[in-house]
Amino acid sequence: MKRKVVSVLLSTAMAVTMLAGCGGNSGSSAAPSEAAPASEAAAPETAPSAEAAASEIASSEAGTEAAASGETISVGFAQVGHESDWRTAATKSVQDAFSAENGFDLQFVDCDNDSAAQLEAVRNFIQQDVDYIVIDPIVSTGWDTVLQECEDAGIPVIVIDRTIDDSDKYTAWVGSQFTNEGLAAGAWLKDYAAAKGMDELNILVISGTTGASAQLGRSNGFDEYVKAEGWNKLDEQTGDFTQEGGQEVMESYCKSYEGKFNVVVCQNDNEAFGAQQAMDAAGVSYGVGGDVVLISFDACTAGLQQVLDGKINADFQCNPLSGPDCASIVQKLQAGEEVEKETFMAEPWYVAESDLTSITYKNASGEEVTEDLIPVTQEIVDAAY
């Protein structure tokens, strides 16, 4: 009921906002920390759409109302699934941040990597009239209709991790610059190959869930180097961000491309673990001193241990701990404050050998950046997620 009142107020409030020129939510990405190479990301859009502005107003109205009543804030979280170590850490981060002690009533739905189930979960949250909806979108498209429904119901949506690319009807997003992760992997491989005197690169890619923005960004970023350097990318097949998927794809690669590849790129650590199992079984050596250079993304604890052990050559971190940022966005909305449309997580790059200390590349915003390559130590593994 309260949200219907908010919706009715929207058109007037929106007009006032637009006349006042408040649409200029420019430079809305959070300032990255210095230890955050990946967060020197593409500049976010400079102005939120009318819909986004409306949704911000809706959220402040709803927030003021909830705050005044001293009620618990109800939040529905439609999570991707449970496919990886990264995902486990991300779920815990959100659950911890939206705890009952912190004043939240969190409804958590594991969508098991099923996009239809995820849309249904969001619609159920609308029916339950939760105060806020948090979505980690399995795939980046197909969202506009359901986001419109959220907006019509006056429920602010916060997107975390993967992006929504076909609608801007959400209040805020917190996550990673996936294209920069892919570009950084390409830049590292170029320098590493030169340092090791590898004159021909024959590359196999095990990609993440097809259509997930994490997959699209990592593939597109890395492919820029494939094209520019004339590398031979033999194949790219999805391992769905799982260990089983990585193993299955690598088993088939080991048969189809026996003796023909010297680089394997896995788009997350769990796929890399599966690929290692398959290469072990096929008698293919990888990592430092091996026949195959193994590249991974995520840098979870087990992944970094593999880097420390020289079994993964380089691991490009993706930070899953967005729960506190996400909860702080909700708190700000509750207080009626404006929030940044985009917040980028801080992410370093980790390597097994210490001869290369940095990479320089043109990032997704077209800026030339130089970023550290961090050799993994036991302390780094112990501190990882």
Which region among 39-47, 83-91, 226-234, 345-353 touches ligand GYE (by CB under 6 A)?
A: 83-91
DSSP-derived secondary structure letter, 39: G
Residue number with CB closer to ligand GYE (162 or 311): 162
Stretch that binds ligand GYE, among 82-90, 185-193, 280-288, 363-371 (CB under 6 A): 82-90
Select the residue interacting with ligand GYE from 56, 83, 315, 338 (CB under 6 A): 83
344 binds ligand GYE (CB under 6 A): no
Task: Please give the distance of CA 277 from its chain centroid, rounded to a whole number.
Answer: 26
- Dist CA 218 CA 370 (whole Å): 19
251 to 280: interface string for ligand GYE, x by CB under 6 A: -----------------x------------
Alpha helices of the chain — where are they, by DSSP H? 2-19, 50-69, 85-97, 115-127, 144-152, 178-196, 213-229, 243-256, 269-282, 301-308, 323-334, 378-383
Q: Is 385 in the site for ligand GYE (CB under 6 A)?
A: no
Q: How far apart are CA 179 and CA 213, in angstroms?
A: 9
Report if residue 315 touches ligand GYE, rule: CB under 6 A.
no
Q: How far is the CB of 364 from ligand GYE (least distance, A)?
A: 15
Does position 361 interact with ligand GYE (CB under 6 A)? The reply is: no
Residues in contact with ligand GYE, counted by CB under 6 A, come to a total of 12
- Distance in angstroms between the alpha carbons of the first and the last residue of the chain: 41
Residue 175's DSSP bridge partners are 344
Q: Which is nearer to ligand GYE, 13 or 94 (CB)?
A: 94
What is the distance of C-alpha 381 from the center of its chain? 21
d(CA 55, CA 151): 6
| Contact between 297 and ligand GYE per CB under 6 A | yes
Residue 151 to residue 133: CA distance in whole angstroms? 11
Cβ-based nearer residue to ligand GYE, 87 or 341: 87
* Distance of closest approach, residue 32 Cβ to ligand GYE, in angstroms: 17
Tell the residue number behind the tokens 């390597």, with chain if given.
351
Query: Does 162 engage in binding with ligand GYE (CB under 6 A)?
Result: yes
| Contacts with ligand GYE, residue ranges (CB under 6 A) | 83-84, 86-87, 161-162, 214, 241, 268, 297-298, 318
